Structure formats: structure tokens, C-alpha cells
Amino acid sequence: NAGVTQTPKFRVLKTGQSMTLLCAQDMNHEYMYWYRQDPGMGLRLIHYSVGEGTTAKGEVPDGYNVSRLKKQNFLLGLESAAPSQTSVYFCASRTGGLHTEAFFGQGTRLTVV
């Protein structure tokens, strides 16, 4: 049971380039989340999804897009990367229910130069 898997684990982008981060979960979870974490700070919610085909904005959605075409996958896209998007990105998923445990991936370290 792999849990939550993020691809890639590391990436360096040039300003203006685009890329997609993939989050895959094999637990049949309804809810999925994308966060970013900057040095010395907590996690900030970018976008989330409450089910296949649905997405919603979190605290810091600007500059990012997401898609949830399949229940097990949640994609985070950067159309035109900026140095301010240098961060560690974490994906999480959880099953339905008000207070179920969330499971996190190991993170993707993205550097935009």
C-alpha cells in the first residue's frame, strides 16, 4: 500500500516555464489537498478537491491550477513559474467524514530560478 505518492520529488524550473506536479493516492479517498511550505513557515492551502471532477480554491491559489479527472489523482499546474513559487509542495488525501485522518505525501521540492 503506497499511500500518497508525489511526482517528481525535486525539480528546478526557469522563470516562465510550466510544469505539472502529480499526486496519486491508492486509498480511494474522496478529499485531496495541495499545500506549499516555505522555510520556517507552516503549510498553506493552495487548492483542494472534495471528489472526482471538483476543485476549489484555498488560501493561496494565485498562479496555480488544479485538476481532478480521476479520483486517485490530483494535479497541480504552474503555467508560468515565478521565483516566488519556489517552495516545498505537499499533497494530502483523506476519506469522507468530518474528522478523518489526512495522509500526506513526502513532498516535492521546487526551485524556480
Binding site for other proteins (CB under 8 A): 4, 31, 33, 35, 40-45, 48, 50, 56, 58-59, 90, 92, 96-99, 101-107
Q: Is 16 left (phi over 0), alpha (psi -120 to 50) or beta?
A: left
- Nearest Cα neighbor of 61 from 45, 39, 37 is 45
Cβ proximity to other proteins, 14 vs 99, nearer residue: 99
Cβ proximity to other proteins, 17 vs 104, nearer residue: 104
Q: Compute the least distance from the CB of residue 17 to other proteins, in Å.
A: 25
Query: 3-class DSSP state for residue 83?
Result: helix
Amino acid at 41: M
* Alpha carbon distance 90, 76 (integer Å): 10
Q: Compute the least distance from the CB of residue 81 to other proteins, in Å.
A: 22
The three grid cell numbers given for residue 98, joined into one nine-digit string: 468530518
Q: Compute the least distance from the CB of residue 33 to other proteins, in Å.
A: 6
CB 112 within 8 A of CB 63: no
Q: Compute the least distance from the CB of residue 12 to other proteins, in Å.
A: 18
Cβ proximity to other proteins, 42 vs 69, nearer residue: 42
